[in-house]
Structure 1
Amino acid sequence: MTDGLAPTTRFTGRVADYVRHRPGYPPALLRWLRDEHGVAPDWPVADIGAGTGISARMFLEAGHAVVAVEPNPAMRQAAIAALGGHPRFAAVDGRAEATHLPDASVALVSAAQAFHWFDRRTVKAESRRILRPGGLVAVYWNFRRTSGSPFLEGYERLLREHAPEYAQVAGRYPDEAAMARWFGAGLRGMATFPNTQRLDLDALRGRLLSSSYAPRAGDPRHGPMMEALEALFASTAVDGRVDFDYDTRIHVGVPDG
Structure 2
Amino acid sequence: MTDLRSTERFSDRVADYVRYRPDYPQALVGWLHGLGVDADWTVADIGAGTGISSRLFLDAGHRVTGVEPNAPMRDAARQWLAGAEGFRAHDGTAEATGLPDASVDLVIAGQAFHWFDPVAVRREFARLLTPRGLVAIFWNTRRLVGTPFLEGYERLLHQYGIDYVSVAERYADDDTMARWFGHGYRGMASFPHTQRLDYAQLLGRTLSSSYMPMAGHPNHEPLLVALRALFDATQSGGTIAFDYDTRIFAGHPDT
* TM-score interval (norm. to shorter): over 0.9
In structure 2, the gaps of 5 or more residues are none
Q: Distance in 1 between the 2:207 and 2:217 partners?
A: 13
1:175 match: 173
1:186 match: 184
- 1:226 Cα deviation after fit: 1.0
Q: Distance in 2 between the 1:232 and 1:85 partners?
A: 38
Q: Distance in 2 between the 1:33 and 1:180 partners?
A: 16
Q: Distance in 2 between the 1:179 and 1:170 partners?
A: 16
**Partner SS state of residue 223, structure 1:** helix
Which of 201, 205, 219 aligns to 1:203? It is 201
1:120 match: 118
Q: Distance in 2 between the 1:153 and 1:86 partners?
A: 38
Q: Is the 8 A contact 1:70 1:93 kept in 2?
A: yes
**Partner SS state of residue 121, structure 1:** helix
- With the length of structure 1 as denominator, give the TM-score of the two structures: 0.97
Give me the identity figure in percent: 61
- With the length of structure 2 as denominator, give the TM-score of the two structures: 0.98
Q: Distance in 1 between the 2:160 and 2:87 partners?
A: 39
Greater shift in the superposed pair: 115-124 or 82-91: 82-91
Where has structure 1 moved over 2 Å in runs of 4 or more? 84-87
2:236 match: 238
Which of 50, 53, 57 aligns to 2:51? It is 53
May I ask how many residue pairs the two structures share in their alignment?
Answer: 254
Q: Is the 8 A contact 1:137 1:254 kept in 2?
A: yes
Q: Distance in 2 between the 1:243 and 1:153 partners?
A: 12
Q: Does 1:44 align with 2:42?
A: yes
Amino acid at match of 2:10: F
Q: Is the 8 A contact 1:24 1:54 kept in 2?
A: yes
Q: Distance in 2 between the 1:127 and 1:164 partners?
A: 32
**Partner SS state of residue 9, structure 1:** coil
Greater shift in the superposed pair: 197-206 or 178-187: 178-187
1:130 match: 128
Q: Distance in 2 between the 1:177 and 1:58 partners?
A: 26
Q: Provide Cα deviations, 1:72-94, integer angstroms capped at 9, x if missing partner.
A: 00000000001134330111100
Amino acid at match of 2:69: P
Greater shift in the superposed pair: 138-147 or 160-169: 160-169
Q: Provide Cα deviations, 1:105-151, integer angstroms capped at 9, x if missing partner.
A: 01000010000000010000000011000100000000000000000
Matches within 5 A, 1:124-163: 124-163=122-161
In structure 1, the gaps of 5 or more residues are none
Q: Distance in 1 between the 2:161 and 2:27 partners?
A: 33
Q: Is the 8 A contact 1:84 1:90 kept in 2?
A: no
- 1:66 Cα deviation after fit: 0.2
- 1:184 Cα deviation after fit: 1.1
- 1:10 Cα deviation after fit: 0.2
2:90 match: 92
1:68 match: 66
Q: Distance in 2 between the 1:192 and 1:92 partners?
A: 29
- 1:181 Cα deviation after fit: 1.2
Q: Is the 8 A contact 1:43 1:64 kept in 2?
A: yes
Amino acid at match of 2:152: G
Q: What is the aligned-residue RMSD (CA, Å)?
A: 1.1
Q: Distance in 1 between the 2:4 and 2:184 partners?
A: 34
Question: Judging changes above 3 Å, is the alpha-carbon distance between structure 1 residues 170 and 5 closer, same or farther for their aligned structure 2 residues?
Answer: closer
1:214 match: 212
